[in-house]
Chain A
Amino acid sequence: MANLINRRNFFKKTALPVTGIMMGSSISGLSGCQRSGAAMPASYDIMEEVMKYRKINSHEHVWPDVSPDALIDFSDRLGVEKLAISSIIPAGPGREANPQGFRACNDLVLKAMKKYPGRFLGQAFLNPVYGKESLEEIKRCIDQGMIGLKIYNQVKINDPLFYPVIEKLIDLKMVMLVHAHCGLGVGGYRPRYGNVQPNASIPEDFAMAAKRYPEAIFQYAHLHGGSDWEYACRVLKDYPNVYADLSGSNNEANTVNFALKHLGEDRLLFGSDGSYYQGIGTILSSDLNDAQRKKIFFDNFNNILRKSGNNVD
Protein backbone atom coordinates (compact mmCIF):
# COMPACT_ATOMS: atom_id res chain seq x y z
CA MET A 1 0.00 0.00 0.00
CA ALA A 2 0.98 3.54 -0.51
CA ASN A 3 3.66 5.38 1.40
CA LEU A 4 2.68 8.98 1.84
CA ILE A 5 5.25 11.35 0.41
CA ASN A 6 7.57 12.74 3.03
CA ARG A 7 7.48 16.53 2.86
CA ARG A 8 11.23 16.68 3.25
CA ASN A 9 11.83 14.29 0.36
CA PHE A 10 9.40 16.15 -1.83
CA PHE A 11 11.46 19.30 -1.79
CA LYS A 12 14.66 17.27 -1.93
CA LYS A 13 13.67 15.71 -5.25
CA THR A 14 15.65 17.16 -8.05
CA ALA A 15 14.53 17.40 -11.63
CA LEU A 16 15.28 14.32 -13.69
CA PRO A 17 15.98 14.14 -17.41
CA VAL A 18 12.91 14.35 -19.56
CA THR A 19 12.21 10.87 -20.83
CA GLY A 20 8.64 11.21 -21.90
CA ILE A 21 7.08 9.03 -24.49
CA MET A 22 4.00 9.77 -26.41
CA MET A 23 0.79 8.06 -25.64
CA GLY A 24 -0.20 5.16 -27.81
CA SER A 25 -2.77 5.56 -30.49
CA SER A 26 -6.38 6.02 -29.54
CA ILE A 27 -8.20 2.91 -28.59
CA SER A 28 -10.73 1.46 -30.93
CA GLY A 29 -14.37 2.25 -30.74
CA LEU A 30 -14.07 5.72 -29.29
CA SER A 31 -13.88 7.74 -32.44
CA GLY A 32 -16.59 9.80 -34.00
CA CYS A 33 -17.45 11.78 -30.92
CA GLN A 34 -20.12 14.32 -31.73
CA ARG A 35 -18.87 17.61 -30.42
CA SER A 36 -20.21 19.96 -33.03
CA GLY A 37 -22.73 22.52 -31.89
CA ALA A 38 -22.07 21.99 -28.20
CA ALA A 39 -22.07 25.06 -25.97
CA MET A 40 -18.50 25.56 -24.90
CA PRO A 41 -17.31 27.31 -21.73
CA ALA A 42 -15.61 30.65 -21.51
CA SER A 43 -11.87 30.54 -21.04
CA TYR A 44 -10.52 30.78 -17.51
CA ASP A 45 -6.99 31.94 -16.80
CA ILE A 46 -6.09 30.45 -13.45
CA MET A 47 -2.61 31.96 -13.37
CA GLU A 48 -4.09 35.42 -13.80
CA GLU A 49 -6.28 34.69 -10.77
CA VAL A 50 -3.32 33.33 -8.81
CA MET A 51 -1.16 36.35 -9.49
CA LYS A 52 -3.98 38.79 -8.75
CA TYR A 53 -3.66 38.32 -4.98
CA ARG A 54 -0.85 39.26 -2.62
CA LYS A 55 -0.02 36.29 -0.41
CA ILE A 56 1.63 35.53 2.89
CA ASN A 57 2.10 31.82 3.48
CA SER A 58 1.34 31.20 7.15
CA HIS A 59 2.65 27.63 7.40
CA GLU A 60 5.81 26.23 5.84
CA HIS A 61 8.99 24.47 6.93
CA VAL A 62 12.69 24.25 6.25
CA TRP A 63 14.60 21.02 6.76
CA PRO A 64 18.26 20.30 7.57
CA ASP A 65 18.97 18.41 4.36
CA VAL A 66 16.94 20.55 1.97
CA SER A 67 17.84 23.95 0.62
CA PRO A 68 15.28 26.72 1.16
CA ASP A 69 15.79 27.55 -2.52
CA ALA A 70 12.94 25.19 -3.44
CA LEU A 71 10.54 27.10 -1.19
CA ILE A 72 11.49 30.39 -2.79
CA ASP A 73 11.19 28.87 -6.24
CA PHE A 74 7.66 27.61 -5.62
CA SER A 75 6.71 30.89 -3.99
CA ASP A 76 7.92 32.87 -6.98
CA ARG A 77 6.03 30.55 -9.31
CA LEU A 78 2.77 31.15 -7.45
CA GLY A 79 3.12 34.77 -6.41
CA VAL A 80 3.75 34.26 -2.69
CA GLU A 81 5.59 37.24 -1.20
CA LYS A 82 6.50 35.92 2.21
CA LEU A 83 6.54 32.60 4.04
CA ALA A 84 6.31 31.88 7.74
CA ILE A 85 8.79 29.05 8.26
CA SER A 86 9.89 26.81 11.08
CA SER A 87 12.03 23.75 11.56
CA ILE A 88 10.71 21.03 13.83
CA ILE A 89 11.54 17.73 15.49
CA PRO A 90 8.49 15.42 15.47
CA ALA A 91 8.16 13.50 18.72
CA GLY A 92 9.19 9.88 18.50
CA PRO A 93 11.79 7.31 19.49
CA GLY A 94 15.30 8.73 19.16
CA ARG A 95 13.99 12.20 18.33
CA GLU A 96 14.04 14.16 21.55
CA ALA A 97 13.44 17.86 21.16
CA ASN A 98 15.94 18.91 23.80
CA PRO A 99 17.40 22.43 24.00
CA GLN A 100 20.32 21.50 21.77
CA GLY A 101 17.89 20.10 19.21
CA PHE A 102 15.45 23.01 19.14
CA ARG A 103 18.25 25.56 19.02
CA ALA A 104 19.66 23.79 15.98
CA CYS A 105 16.22 23.89 14.34
CA ASN A 106 15.93 27.59 14.97
CA ASP A 107 19.45 28.22 13.70
CA LEU A 108 18.37 26.64 10.44
CA VAL A 109 15.46 29.08 10.19
CA LEU A 110 17.72 32.04 11.01
CA LYS A 111 20.11 30.90 8.29
CA ALA A 112 17.30 30.81 5.73
CA MET A 113 16.12 34.26 6.84
CA LYS A 114 19.62 35.61 6.26
CA LYS A 115 19.92 33.93 2.87
CA TYR A 116 16.65 35.43 1.64
CA PRO A 117 16.16 38.72 3.50
CA GLY A 118 12.56 39.85 3.55
CA ARG A 119 11.09 36.58 2.26
CA PHE A 120 11.02 34.35 5.33
CA LEU A 121 9.17 35.08 8.57
CA GLY A 122 10.79 32.91 11.22
CA GLN A 123 8.83 30.93 13.80
CA ALA A 124 10.77 29.52 16.74
CA PHE A 125 10.36 25.87 17.72
CA LEU A 126 10.73 24.83 21.36
CA ASN A 127 9.76 22.17 23.86
CA PRO A 128 8.09 23.43 27.07
CA VAL A 129 9.36 20.41 28.97
CA TYR A 130 12.50 22.54 29.13
CA GLY A 131 10.82 25.64 30.53
CA LYS A 132 13.78 27.87 31.29
CA GLU A 133 15.58 27.05 28.05
CA SER A 134 12.38 27.58 26.06
CA LEU A 135 11.88 31.08 27.39
CA GLU A 136 15.54 31.86 26.71
CA GLU A 137 15.13 30.54 23.18
CA ILE A 138 12.10 32.74 22.56
CA LYS A 139 14.18 35.78 23.47
CA ARG A 140 17.11 34.68 21.32
CA CYS A 141 14.91 34.10 18.27
CA ILE A 142 12.71 37.18 18.60
CA ASP A 143 15.81 39.33 19.06
CA GLN A 144 16.94 38.06 15.67
CA GLY A 145 13.71 38.92 13.91
CA MET A 146 11.37 35.93 14.30
CA ILE A 147 7.66 36.65 14.45
CA GLY A 148 6.12 33.85 16.50
CA LEU A 149 6.28 30.21 17.56
CA LYS A 150 5.70 26.81 16.02
CA ILE A 151 4.64 24.10 18.46
CA TYR A 152 4.75 20.46 17.51
CA ASN A 153 3.62 17.30 19.28
CA GLN A 154 5.86 17.10 22.34
CA VAL A 155 3.29 18.60 24.73
CA LYS A 156 -0.39 19.46 24.26
CA ILE A 157 -1.12 23.16 24.02
CA ASN A 158 -3.40 23.11 27.09
CA ASP A 159 -0.79 21.44 29.30
CA PRO A 160 0.30 23.63 32.25
CA LEU A 161 3.86 23.27 31.01
CA PHE A 162 2.83 25.62 28.22
CA TYR A 163 1.43 28.37 30.44
CA PRO A 164 4.69 30.37 30.79
CA VAL A 165 5.26 30.15 27.04
CA ILE A 166 1.73 31.29 26.22
CA GLU A 167 2.00 34.14 28.70
CA LYS A 168 5.28 35.23 27.11
CA LEU A 169 3.69 35.22 23.65
CA ILE A 170 0.77 37.26 24.97
CA ASP A 171 3.28 39.86 26.14
CA LEU A 172 4.88 39.82 22.71
CA LYS A 173 1.48 39.86 20.91
CA MET A 174 2.69 37.04 18.68
CA VAL A 175 1.03 34.00 17.15
CA MET A 176 1.58 30.36 18.13
CA LEU A 177 1.22 27.96 15.22
CA VAL A 178 0.29 24.68 16.89
CA HIS A 179 0.45 21.29 15.21
CA ALA A 180 -3.06 19.85 15.28
CA HIS A 181 -4.62 16.47 14.73
CA CYS A 182 -8.21 15.45 14.59
CA GLY A 183 -8.59 11.96 13.24
CA LEU A 184 -9.42 8.44 14.12
CA GLY A 185 -7.04 7.31 16.80
CA VAL A 186 -4.88 10.38 16.38
CA GLY A 187 -4.11 12.68 19.25
CA GLY A 188 -6.77 11.18 21.47
CA TYR A 189 -9.84 11.62 19.28
CA ARG A 190 -11.70 8.31 19.38
CA PRO A 191 -8.77 6.58 21.09
CA ARG A 192 -10.31 3.15 20.79
CA TYR A 193 -8.90 3.15 17.27
CA GLY A 194 -5.35 3.67 18.54
CA ASN A 195 -3.30 6.66 19.49
CA VAL A 196 -0.73 7.63 16.90
CA GLN A 197 0.50 10.90 18.39
CA PRO A 198 -0.60 10.95 22.05
CA ASN A 199 0.64 14.49 22.69
CA ALA A 200 -0.63 16.11 19.52
CA SER A 201 -3.13 18.85 20.25
CA ILE A 202 -6.72 18.11 19.26
CA PRO A 203 -9.44 20.75 18.81
CA GLU A 204 -10.65 20.41 22.39
CA ASP A 205 -7.12 21.18 23.62
CA PHE A 206 -7.13 24.39 21.60
CA ALA A 207 -10.50 25.30 23.03
CA MET A 208 -9.25 24.85 26.60
CA ALA A 209 -6.13 26.93 25.99
CA ALA A 210 -8.10 29.63 24.16
CA LYS A 211 -10.62 29.83 26.98
CA ARG A 212 -7.91 30.15 29.62
CA TYR A 213 -5.99 32.71 27.57
CA PRO A 214 -8.48 34.71 25.46
CA GLU A 215 -5.82 37.31 24.68
CA ALA A 216 -3.43 34.74 23.20
CA ILE A 217 -3.30 34.10 19.43
CA PHE A 218 -3.42 30.45 18.39
CA GLN A 219 -3.14 29.06 14.86
CA TYR A 220 -4.73 25.63 14.34
CA ALA A 221 -2.40 23.95 11.87
CA HIS A 222 -3.29 22.51 8.47
CA LEU A 223 -7.04 22.17 8.27
CA HIS A 224 -6.36 20.29 5.01
CA GLY A 225 -3.69 18.17 6.66
CA GLY A 226 -5.74 15.11 7.34
CA SER A 227 -7.91 16.57 10.06
CA ASP A 228 -11.59 15.86 10.37
CA TRP A 229 -12.13 19.49 9.39
CA GLU A 230 -15.85 19.45 10.06
CA TYR A 231 -15.26 18.29 13.64
CA ALA A 232 -12.43 20.78 14.15
CA CYS A 233 -14.43 23.76 12.88
CA ARG A 234 -17.39 22.88 15.05
CA VAL A 235 -15.21 22.73 18.17
CA LEU A 236 -13.28 25.93 17.37
CA LYS A 237 -16.31 27.94 16.31
CA ASP A 238 -16.73 29.84 19.58
CA TYR A 239 -13.07 30.65 20.23
CA PRO A 240 -12.27 33.81 18.26
CA ASN A 241 -8.61 33.79 19.23
CA VAL A 242 -8.05 30.51 17.37
CA TYR A 243 -7.25 30.96 13.68
CA ALA A 244 -7.10 28.04 11.25
CA ASP A 245 -4.61 27.73 8.45
CA LEU A 246 -5.75 26.03 5.26
CA SER A 247 -2.52 24.21 4.48
CA GLY A 248 -2.14 20.48 3.86
CA SER A 249 -2.38 17.92 1.09
CA ASN A 250 -6.00 16.86 1.52
CA ASN A 251 -7.67 19.48 -0.65
CA GLU A 252 -11.28 18.51 -0.11
CA ALA A 253 -13.77 20.58 -2.03
CA ASN A 254 -15.88 21.89 0.80
CA THR A 255 -13.37 22.57 3.58
CA VAL A 256 -12.98 26.30 2.97
CA ASN A 257 -16.70 26.89 2.56
CA PHE A 258 -17.40 25.01 5.79
CA ALA A 259 -14.65 26.84 7.67
CA LEU A 260 -15.92 30.15 6.35
CA LYS A 261 -19.38 29.39 7.68
CA HIS A 262 -18.18 28.28 11.12
CA LEU A 263 -15.06 30.37 11.78
CA GLY A 264 -15.68 33.40 9.60
CA GLU A 265 -13.61 35.16 6.97
CA ASP A 266 -11.28 36.84 9.50
CA ARG A 267 -9.95 33.62 11.06
CA LEU A 268 -8.76 31.71 8.00
CA LEU A 269 -5.15 31.82 6.80
CA PHE A 270 -3.54 30.74 3.57
CA GLY A 271 -0.76 28.17 4.02
CA SER A 272 0.96 25.31 2.25
CA ASP A 273 2.85 23.01 4.63
CA GLY A 274 4.50 21.43 1.60
CA SER A 275 1.35 21.38 -0.55
CA TYR A 276 1.63 24.47 -2.66
CA TYR A 277 -0.88 23.73 -5.38
CA GLN A 278 -3.55 22.65 -2.91
CA GLY A 279 -3.05 25.68 -0.67
CA ILE A 280 -4.01 27.99 -3.51
CA GLY A 281 -6.39 25.75 -5.47
CA THR A 282 -8.73 25.23 -2.53
CA ILE A 283 -9.09 28.96 -1.94
CA LEU A 284 -9.65 29.87 -5.58
CA SER A 285 -12.25 27.13 -6.10
CA SER A 286 -14.30 27.94 -2.99
CA ASP A 287 -17.30 30.24 -2.75
CA LEU A 288 -15.34 33.31 -1.68
CA ASN A 289 -15.73 36.83 -2.95
CA ASP A 290 -12.75 38.95 -3.87
CA ALA A 291 -12.53 40.67 -0.50
CA GLN A 292 -12.60 37.33 1.33
CA ARG A 293 -9.82 35.96 -0.86
CA LYS A 294 -7.69 39.01 -0.09
CA LYS A 295 -8.23 38.53 3.61
CA ILE A 296 -7.34 34.84 3.55
CA PHE A 297 -4.36 35.15 1.23
CA PHE A 298 -2.83 38.19 2.91
CA ASP A 299 -4.69 40.52 5.25
CA ASN A 300 -5.61 38.14 8.07
CA PHE A 301 -2.06 37.01 8.72
CA ASN A 302 -0.73 40.50 8.15
CA ASN A 303 -3.15 41.78 10.79
CA ILE A 304 -1.78 39.21 13.22
CA LEU A 305 1.73 40.43 12.45
CA ARG A 306 0.59 44.01 12.90
CA LYS A 307 -0.13 43.36 16.59
CA SER A 308 3.58 42.92 17.22
CA GLY A 309 4.69 45.53 14.70
CA ASN A 310 5.86 42.89 12.22
CA ASN A 311 3.31 43.58 9.48
CA VAL A 312 4.72 43.43 6.00
CA ASP A 313 3.08 46.45 4.41
Chain B
Amino acid sequence: MLIDINASTGHWPFQQMQNSSCNEILARMDRYGVDLSVVSNLNGIFYKNVQAANEELHEELMSDRRFKDRFFPFAIINPQYAGWRQDLDICVNKMGVRGIRLYPVYHDYELSDPSCIDLVKIARDMGLIVGFTFRMFDPRGPRHWMDTTIQWNLGDMIPVIQEVPDATYFFLNVVGNIFVLNESERALLKKTTVLIDTSGASLGNMGNAIATYGAGKFAFGTHTPILDYLTGLLRIESLRENEGGEAARDQLRSGNARKILGI
Protein backbone atom coordinates (compact mmCIF):
# COMPACT_ATOMS: atom_id res chain seq x y z
CA MET B 1 0.00 0.00 0.00
CA LEU B 2 1.20 3.49 -0.83
CA ILE B 3 -0.08 6.73 0.72
CA ASP B 4 0.99 10.19 -0.48
CA ILE B 5 0.77 12.61 2.44
CA ASN B 6 1.57 15.72 0.39
CA ALA B 7 -0.65 16.39 -2.63
CA SER B 8 -2.54 19.49 -3.71
CA THR B 9 -5.18 20.48 -6.18
CA GLY B 10 -5.65 23.96 -7.55
CA HIS B 11 -3.60 26.61 -9.27
CA TRP B 12 -0.42 28.59 -8.69
CA PRO B 13 -0.73 32.20 -9.81
CA PHE B 14 2.80 32.48 -11.20
CA GLN B 15 3.20 29.24 -13.12
CA GLN B 16 0.96 26.88 -15.00
CA MET B 17 0.23 23.75 -13.00
CA GLN B 18 -0.45 20.41 -14.66
CA ASN B 19 -2.08 17.33 -13.16
CA SER B 20 -3.64 19.43 -10.41
CA SER B 21 -7.29 18.37 -10.41
CA CYS B 22 -8.57 15.44 -8.39
CA ASN B 23 -9.20 13.59 -11.60
CA GLU B 24 -5.66 14.16 -12.87
CA ILE B 25 -4.10 13.31 -9.53
CA LEU B 26 -6.15 10.13 -9.40
CA ALA B 27 -4.85 9.17 -12.84
CA ARG B 28 -1.30 9.60 -11.57
CA MET B 29 -2.09 7.60 -8.46
CA ASP B 30 -3.45 4.76 -10.58
CA ARG B 31 -0.46 4.84 -12.91
CA TYR B 32 2.15 4.79 -10.16
CA GLY B 33 0.46 2.56 -7.61
CA VAL B 34 -0.60 5.16 -5.05
CA ASP B 35 -3.66 4.05 -3.09
CA LEU B 36 -4.49 7.17 -1.12
CA SER B 37 -3.52 10.84 -1.12
CA VAL B 38 -3.79 13.55 1.49
CA VAL B 39 -4.94 16.57 -0.47
CA SER B 40 -5.60 20.27 0.04
CA ASN B 41 -6.29 23.15 -2.35
CA LEU B 42 -3.42 25.45 -3.39
CA ASN B 43 -5.90 28.25 -3.98
CA GLY B 44 -6.26 28.59 -0.22
CA ILE B 45 -2.73 29.96 -0.08
CA PHE B 46 -3.77 32.98 -2.12
CA TYR B 47 -7.40 33.61 -1.32
CA LYS B 48 -7.89 36.11 1.49
CA ASN B 49 -10.96 34.18 2.48
CA VAL B 50 -9.40 30.72 2.42
CA GLN B 51 -12.65 28.96 3.23
CA ALA B 52 -13.67 29.39 -0.39
CA ALA B 53 -10.76 27.13 -1.34
CA ASN B 54 -11.84 24.51 1.18
CA GLU B 55 -15.33 24.64 -0.28
CA GLU B 56 -13.93 24.24 -3.79
CA LEU B 57 -12.01 21.15 -2.76
CA HIS B 58 -15.02 19.70 -1.00
CA GLU B 59 -17.21 20.21 -4.06
CA GLU B 60 -14.61 18.61 -6.29
CA LEU B 61 -14.31 15.62 -3.99
CA MET B 62 -18.09 15.22 -3.96
CA SER B 63 -18.29 15.35 -7.73
CA ASP B 64 -17.04 11.81 -8.37
CA ARG B 65 -17.75 8.79 -6.20
CA ARG B 66 -14.25 7.41 -6.83
CA PHE B 67 -12.69 10.30 -4.95
CA LYS B 68 -14.24 9.47 -1.58
CA ASP B 69 -12.15 6.38 -1.13
CA ARG B 70 -8.88 7.72 -2.51
CA PHE B 71 -8.43 11.18 -0.98
CA PHE B 72 -8.05 12.47 2.55
CA PRO B 73 -8.98 16.16 2.49
CA PHE B 74 -7.05 18.67 4.58
CA ALA B 75 -8.33 22.22 5.08
CA ILE B 76 -6.25 25.37 4.85
CA ILE B 77 -6.90 27.67 7.78
CA ASN B 78 -5.71 31.24 8.28
CA PRO B 79 -5.94 32.08 11.98
CA GLN B 80 -5.64 35.79 11.20
CA TYR B 81 -8.84 35.98 9.21
CA ALA B 82 -12.36 36.57 10.48
CA GLY B 83 -14.45 33.51 11.10
CA TRP B 84 -11.69 30.91 10.98
CA ARG B 85 -12.98 29.01 14.01
CA GLN B 86 -16.34 28.57 12.33
CA ASP B 87 -14.59 27.56 9.11
CA LEU B 88 -12.60 24.93 10.97
CA ASP B 89 -15.76 23.55 12.55
CA ILE B 90 -17.46 23.29 9.14
CA CYS B 91 -14.40 21.69 7.57
CA VAL B 92 -14.23 19.04 10.27
CA ASN B 93 -17.88 18.32 10.89
CA LYS B 94 -19.40 18.86 7.46
CA MET B 95 -16.53 18.31 5.02
CA GLY B 96 -14.76 15.56 6.92
CA VAL B 97 -11.23 16.96 6.81
CA ARG B 98 -8.56 14.92 8.58
CA GLY B 99 -6.12 17.72 9.16
CA ILE B 100 -5.18 21.30 8.40
CA ARG B 101 -2.37 22.97 6.52
CA LEU B 102 -1.05 26.34 7.67
CA TYR B 103 0.79 28.84 5.48
CA PRO B 104 2.11 31.56 7.82
CA VAL B 105 4.51 32.99 5.22
CA TYR B 106 1.80 33.50 2.62
CA HIS B 107 -0.85 34.56 5.13
CA ASP B 108 1.60 36.99 6.73
CA TYR B 109 2.01 35.90 10.33
CA GLU B 110 4.86 34.38 12.31
CA LEU B 111 5.07 30.77 13.37
CA SER B 112 5.34 32.07 16.91
CA ASP B 113 2.23 34.24 16.61
CA PRO B 114 -0.23 33.46 19.42
CA SER B 115 -2.97 32.86 16.87
CA CYS B 116 -0.86 30.21 15.18
CA ILE B 117 -0.09 28.46 18.45
CA ASP B 118 -3.78 28.64 19.42
CA LEU B 119 -4.78 27.03 16.15
CA VAL B 120 -2.27 24.22 16.61
CA LYS B 121 -3.64 23.60 20.11
CA ILE B 122 -7.21 23.56 18.86
CA ALA B 123 -6.24 21.15 16.09
CA ARG B 124 -4.63 18.92 18.67
CA ASP B 125 -7.77 18.96 20.77
CA MET B 126 -9.90 18.11 17.74
CA GLY B 127 -7.63 15.20 16.76
CA LEU B 128 -6.43 16.89 13.59
CA ILE B 129 -3.02 16.64 11.96
CA VAL B 130 -1.22 19.96 11.45
CA GLY B 131 0.76 20.31 8.23
CA PHE B 132 3.56 22.83 7.67
CA THR B 133 5.20 23.09 4.24
CA PHE B 134 8.80 24.29 4.47
CA ARG B 135 8.65 25.93 1.08
CA MET B 136 6.31 25.84 -1.89
CA PHE B 137 8.79 26.82 -4.62
CA ASP B 138 12.55 27.04 -4.90
CA PRO B 139 13.35 30.66 -3.98
CA ARG B 140 16.08 30.88 -6.59
CA GLY B 141 15.33 31.12 -10.31
CA PRO B 142 11.93 29.50 -10.58
CA ARG B 143 10.38 31.85 -8.03
CA HIS B 144 8.25 34.65 -9.36
CA TRP B 145 9.37 38.14 -8.36
CA MET B 146 6.16 38.61 -6.38
CA ASP B 147 6.65 35.34 -4.48
CA THR B 148 8.44 34.87 -1.17
CA THR B 149 12.10 34.00 -0.60
CA ILE B 150 11.40 32.61 2.86
CA GLN B 151 11.84 28.92 3.53
CA TRP B 152 12.15 27.07 6.82
CA ASN B 153 14.36 24.32 8.11
CA LEU B 154 13.70 21.82 10.89
CA GLY B 155 15.10 24.23 13.47
CA ASP B 156 12.32 26.72 12.71
CA MET B 157 9.77 24.12 13.81
CA ILE B 158 11.27 23.54 17.25
CA PRO B 159 9.56 26.51 19.00
CA VAL B 160 6.17 25.34 17.74
CA ILE B 161 6.80 21.81 18.95
CA GLN B 162 7.95 23.18 22.30
CA GLU B 163 4.69 25.12 22.61
CA VAL B 164 2.49 22.21 21.56
CA PRO B 165 4.47 19.01 21.96
CA ASP B 166 1.45 16.73 21.93
CA ALA B 167 0.04 17.81 18.57
CA THR B 168 0.46 15.62 15.50
CA TYR B 169 2.45 17.15 12.66
CA PHE B 170 3.24 16.69 8.99
CA PHE B 171 6.43 18.47 7.91
CA LEU B 172 6.23 18.72 4.13
CA ASN B 173 8.72 19.44 1.34
CA VAL B 174 11.45 19.76 3.94
CA VAL B 175 14.47 21.78 2.83
CA GLY B 176 17.61 22.96 4.56
CA ASN B 177 20.03 20.87 6.54
CA ILE B 178 18.05 18.28 8.48
CA PHE B 179 21.10 17.56 10.63
CA VAL B 180 21.06 21.14 11.95
CA LEU B 181 19.33 20.26 15.22
CA ASN B 182 21.31 20.00 18.43
CA GLU B 183 20.99 16.99 20.71
CA SER B 184 18.10 18.31 22.80
CA GLU B 185 16.19 19.50 19.74
CA ARG B 186 16.72 16.16 18.06
CA ALA B 187 15.46 14.37 21.16
CA LEU B 188 12.37 16.60 21.19
CA LEU B 189 11.65 15.86 17.55
CA LYS B 190 11.98 12.15 18.17
CA LYS B 191 9.44 12.34 21.00
CA THR B 192 6.97 14.27 18.86
CA THR B 193 4.39 12.60 16.66
CA VAL B 194 5.56 13.92 13.32
CA LEU B 195 5.93 12.63 9.80
CA ILE B 196 8.39 14.17 7.34
CA ASP B 197 7.33 13.51 3.77
CA THR B 198 9.90 12.24 1.28
CA SER B 199 9.47 15.00 -1.31
CA GLY B 200 11.95 17.49 0.16
CA ALA B 201 15.40 18.29 -1.19
CA SER B 202 16.82 17.86 2.31
CA LEU B 203 16.60 14.13 1.88
CA GLY B 204 19.65 13.82 -0.32
CA ASN B 205 20.58 10.58 1.36
CA MET B 206 17.50 8.80 2.67
CA GLY B 207 19.57 6.17 4.45
CA ASN B 208 21.35 8.83 6.52
CA ALA B 209 18.05 10.53 7.36
CA ILE B 210 16.59 7.27 8.64
CA ALA B 211 19.75 6.51 10.58
CA THR B 212 19.44 9.89 12.31
CA TYR B 213 15.72 10.16 13.01
CA GLY B 214 14.40 6.63 12.56
CA ALA B 215 12.16 5.13 9.90
CA GLY B 216 9.13 6.01 12.01
CA LYS B 217 9.54 9.69 11.21
CA PHE B 218 9.14 9.56 7.43
CA ALA B 219 6.35 8.90 4.96
CA PHE B 220 5.94 8.95 1.21
CA GLY B 221 5.05 12.36 -0.21
CA THR B 222 5.18 13.96 -3.64
CA HIS B 223 4.49 17.71 -3.25
CA THR B 224 2.51 17.25 -6.44
CA PRO B 225 1.67 19.14 -8.64
CA ILE B 226 4.72 21.35 -8.02
CA LEU B 227 7.43 18.69 -7.79
CA ASP B 228 7.76 15.53 -9.85
CA TYR B 229 5.69 12.56 -8.82
CA LEU B 230 8.38 9.91 -8.37
CA THR B 231 11.43 11.30 -6.61
CA GLY B 232 9.84 10.83 -3.19
CA LEU B 233 9.10 7.21 -4.04
CA LEU B 234 12.60 6.58 -5.36
CA ARG B 235 14.04 7.71 -2.03
CA ILE B 236 12.08 4.91 -0.41
CA GLU B 237 12.40 2.10 -2.91
CA SER B 238 16.15 2.50 -3.35
CA LEU B 239 16.82 1.95 0.37
CA ARG B 240 19.16 -0.93 0.95
CA GLU B 241 18.83 -3.76 3.44
CA ASN B 242 21.39 -2.17 5.77
CA GLU B 243 19.31 1.03 5.73
CA GLY B 244 16.23 -0.64 7.09
CA GLY B 245 15.31 -2.77 4.13
CA GLU B 246 11.77 -3.91 3.47
CA ALA B 247 10.59 -3.13 6.99
CA ALA B 248 11.61 0.51 6.65
CA ARG B 249 10.25 0.72 3.13
CA ASP B 250 6.88 -0.53 4.37
CA GLN B 251 6.82 2.05 7.13
CA LEU B 252 7.52 4.82 4.65
CA ARG B 253 5.19 3.57 1.94
CA SER B 254 2.14 3.54 4.17
CA GLY B 255 2.75 2.10 7.64
CA ASN B 256 3.54 5.37 9.38
CA ALA B 257 0.83 7.29 7.54
CA ARG B 258 -1.77 4.62 8.27
CA LYS B 259 -0.94 4.78 11.94
CA ILE B 260 -1.37 8.54 12.07
CA LEU B 261 -4.42 8.64 9.81
CA GLY B 262 -6.01 5.85 11.81
CA ILE B 263 -6.51 3.49 8.90
Q: Show the binding face of A for B, using Cβ within 8 Å.
A: 1-5, 9-10, 13-35, 37-47, 50, 77-78, 181-184, 186, 190, 193, 226-231, 249-254, 257, 274-278, 280-282, 284-286
Q: What are 20 A-B interface contacts by the 8 Å CB criterion?
A: A1-B152, A2-B175, A3-B153, A3-B176, A14-B208, A20-B210, A23-B256, A29-B127, A32-B262, A34-B68, A38-B70, A45-B237, A77-B240, A181-B141, A253-B225, A274-B204, A277-B203, A281-B230, A281-B231, A281-B233
Partner of B152, one of A2, A19, A34, A250: A2
Chain B contact residue count (CB 8 A cutoff) = 83
CA distance A24 to B30 in the complex (A): 30
Q: Are B129 and A19 in contact, with the CB atoms below 8 A?
A: no
Asked if A253 contacts B19 (CB within 8 A), the reply is yes
CB distance from B96 to the nearest CB of A (A): 10
Decide if the interface of chain A is mainly helix, strand, loop or mixed. Answer: loop
- B: which residues have CB within 8 A of A? 15-16, 18-19, 29-36, 66, 68-70, 98, 126-129, 134-135, 138, 140-143, 145, 150-153, 156, 168, 175-177, 179-180, 190-191, 193, 195, 201-208, 210-217, 224-235, 237-238, 240, 243-244, 256, 259-263
Chain A residue with the shortest CB-CB distance to B143: A184
List chain B residues, Cβ under 8 A from A227: 140-142
B230-A285 in contact (CB<8A): yes
**Closest CB pairs A-B (n = 5):** A20-B214, A2-B176, A183-B141, A281-B231, A38-B69
Q: Give Cα A6–Cα B139 distance, bound, in whole angstroms.
A: 16
Option from A1, A25, A39, A77 in Cβ contact (under 8 Å) with B156 = A1
Given contacts A27-B168, A30-B261, A41-B35, contact A50 B201 (CB under 8 A): no
B263 pairs with A27, CB closer than 8 A: no
Given A10-B204, A275-B201; A46-B233 close (CB under 8 Å): yes
Decide if B32 touches A41 in the complex (CB within 8 Å).
Answer: yes
Inter-chain contact A31/B134, CB cutoff 8 Å: no
For B156, the chain A residues whose CB sits under 8 A away are 1-2
- CA of A17 to CA of B224, assembled, Å: 32
Given A30-B98, A226-B138: 4 more A-B contacts, CB < 8 Å: A228-B141, A253-B226, A275-B201, A276-B204
Given A15-B211, A278-B201, is A26 in contact with B262 using a C-beta cutoff of 8 Å?
Answer: yes
Assess the A29–B230 pair: CB atoms within 8 A: no
> Which of A9, A27, A77, A252 has a CB less than 8 Å from the CB of B226?
A252
